[in-house]
Amino acid sequence: MAATLNPYLSGNFAPVQTELTVDELPVLGELPPELNGMFVRNGPNPQFPPLGRYHWFDGDGMLHGVHIQNGKASYRNRYIRTGGFEQERQAGRALFGGLLEPSQAGFKNVANTALVWHCGAKQFPHESKRLLALWEGGAPHAIDLPSLDTIGSHTFNDKLTSPVTAHPKVDPVTGEMMFFGYFLAQPPYVKYSVVSPTGELVQTVPIDLPVGVMMHDFAITEHYTIFMDLPLTFRLERLQRGEPAFAFERDRPSRFGILPRHGDPQAIRWFEASSCYVFHTLNAYEAGDDIVLIACRMGSTSILGASPGSHEGDNRQIESDVPLLYQWRFNLKTGTVQEQTLDDRPCEFPRINEQYLGRQTRYGYAGKSAPTEMPKFDGLLKVDLDHQSVQVHSFGRGRYGGEGVFVPRPGSTVEDDGWLMTFVHDEAQDTSELVIVSTQSMTDEAIARISIPQRVPYGFHGTWVSFLHC
């Protein structure tokens, strides 16, 4: 009987091996003349056949970038050349294991998950502005623009003492960047850090948890930082019994810790809520005595303990794994928690206009989950949080995309004045495009579709770097 092909190594999840540079791309429609910058998306792309069982999170990081200027577009893609990548390239084969099957060589920092552009504040010099490629198990890697060449591991002048989350938060007003790093096997299970607008790591404090957990994301408000102690735990005793070290503990409540941004760790306040898991937050803000958090919430997750289709027939598990847009309100005076589902459409990879990060926003955006076994998006959602309404942009039949990155129109002060950008793959044609959608006319056709000269595999998170302001 033939071996089952790993679905994360086939179709448009399969890697591409060629690094291209193409100076002028065909454009269907018209590129907004105000756009001057680069869209860059990160994702897993193993350079060699993996050892053992392969999980989507394991692949070497590859950046796909589209530079837009003067109504024209160019493309390049580059591997992120981490230490582990270079070791394997020299050996000519895979040396490291993955999440589902570690090897004796351990894990490598694949830098494959997300990107953050820390522009700081405008009065600071160019040297303080940097693009970082992120993977939550280690240090970030600095990337040169527009070449996408890897500069090297970035440790904040050797002050870094923890891994760095894939989702740092940059305050659009102060220019500070906040991040955390988690440890699975020993306390302190979390360290929290603040980086100044000039790029200096100025604060790192421990956050006490009872056990190691997978903490993928967090949130900030104008004055607070919010941590999520959720019941996807890591326990060595399970591993010693021959069981997976990660497990979702359904009977364990979710805990949310709220800490003043520059506060002593003893000042953190913990709030309990119903058991759940969150990969990605949309935003958080302060409303009187309340701290409001909005995120894509699942009742549980099997992402680290099972492959697609393993819960077939278990409707409760399948429904519990579906992410929905959700809101929590934590009252700092009474200690009470209110929580509710905001919309019943499955969605993930939520984004906002990040010029409003940590402040109350009217609009949020997310990928519309397709009714497929594999994690795909068949459209984009624009959510009006004030009026509880949703607009949908569909990619079309047999076309699947990724995270919609919000790009604000330069100079505009209107929150939803801008565009969403994402790579879209046409499975019938096996071709890829960068699609640009106006956020003020979401239900219309894309205003521009840029043909990419090779297939862009499904990936994770992206960013837009404006060359007008940074």
- Which tokens in the block code for residue 43? 């994702």
Residue 412: which residues within 8 A CB-CB, separation 6 or more?
418
Kind of pairing, strands 169-170 and 177-182?
antiparallel
At 462, which amino acid appears?
Answer: G
The confidence score (pLDDT) of residue 3 equals 46
Query: How far is residue 432's CA from residue 22's CA, in Å, rounded to a whole number?
Result: 14
User: How far from 185 is each of 103, 182, 213, 237, 239, CA to CA, in Å?
Assistant: 18, 10, 9, 11, 11
At 444, which amino acid appears?
Answer: D
C-alpha dihedral, 389 to 390 to 391 to 393, nearest 10°: 180
Cβ atoms of 169 and 221 within 8 Å: the answer is no
Cβ atoms within 10 Å of 152's Cβ, excluding its own: 12
- Which tokens in the block code for residue 171? 């305050």
88-95: list long-range contacts, CB under 8 Å, 24+ apart: 88/47, 88/48, 89/47, 92/48, 93/48, 93/49, 94/46, 94/48, 94/49, 94/50, 94/51, 95/51
Query: How far is residue 267's CA from residue 223's CA, in Å, rounded to a whole number?
Result: 13
Cβ atoms within 10 Å of 247's Cβ, excluding its own: 16
The confidence score (pLDDT) of residue 127 equals 52
Residue 134's nearest CA partner among 154, 104, 106, 105 is 154
Question: Which residue's entry shows tokens 């076994």?
Answer: 373
Query: How far is residue 421's CA from residue 434's CA, in Å, rounded to a whole number?
Result: 7
Cβ atoms within 10 Å of 106's Cβ, excluding its own: 10
CA angle 44, 48, 53 (to 5 degrees): 70
Mean per-residue pLDDT pooled into runs of 10, the chain (470 residues): 73 97 97 96 97 92 97 97 97 91 79 90 54 96 96 96 97 96 94 96 96 96 98 87 85 97 96 97 98 96 53 49 96 98 97 98 98 95 97 98 97 97 98 98 98 98 85
Query: How far is residue 254's CA from residue 265's CA, in Å, rounded to a whole number?
Result: 19
Residue 304's nearest CA partner among 229, 403, 234 is 234
Query: How far is residue 374's CA from residue 13's CA, in Å, rounded to a whole number?
Result: 10
Query: How far is residue 198's CA from residue 211's CA, in Å, rounded to a whole number?
Result: 34
At 186, which amino acid appears?
Answer: Q
User: How far from 403 is each of 120, 252, 280, 295, CA to CA, in Å?
Assistant: 24, 31, 12, 15
Cβ atoms of 143 and 150 within 8 Å: the answer is yes
Map the chain to HEC letters.
Answer: CCCCCCHHHCHHHCCCCCCCEECCCCEEECCCCCCCEEEEEEEECCCCCCCCCCCHHHCCEEEEEEEEECCEEEEEEEECCCHHHHHHHHHCCCCCCCCCCCCCCCCCCCCCCEEEEECCCCCCCHHHCEEEEECCCCCCEEECCCCCCEEEECCCCCCCCCCCCCCCEECCCCCCEEEEEECCCCCCCEEEEEECCCCCEEEEEEECCCCCECCCCCEECCCEEEEEECCEEECHHHHHCCCCCEEECCCCCEEEEEEECCCCHHHCEEEEECCCEEEEEEEEEEECCEEEEEEEEECCCCCCCCCCCCCCCCHHHHHHCCCEEEEEEEECCCCCEEEEECCCCCEEEEECCHHHCCCCCCEEEEEEECCCCCCCEEEEEEEECCCCEEEEEECCCCEEECCCEEEECCCCCCCCCEEEEEEEEECCCCEEEEEEEECCCCCCCCCEEEECCCCCCCCCCEEEEECCCC
The partner residues of 193 in beta bridges, in order of sequence, read: 179, 204
The confidence score (pLDDT) of residue 152 equals 95
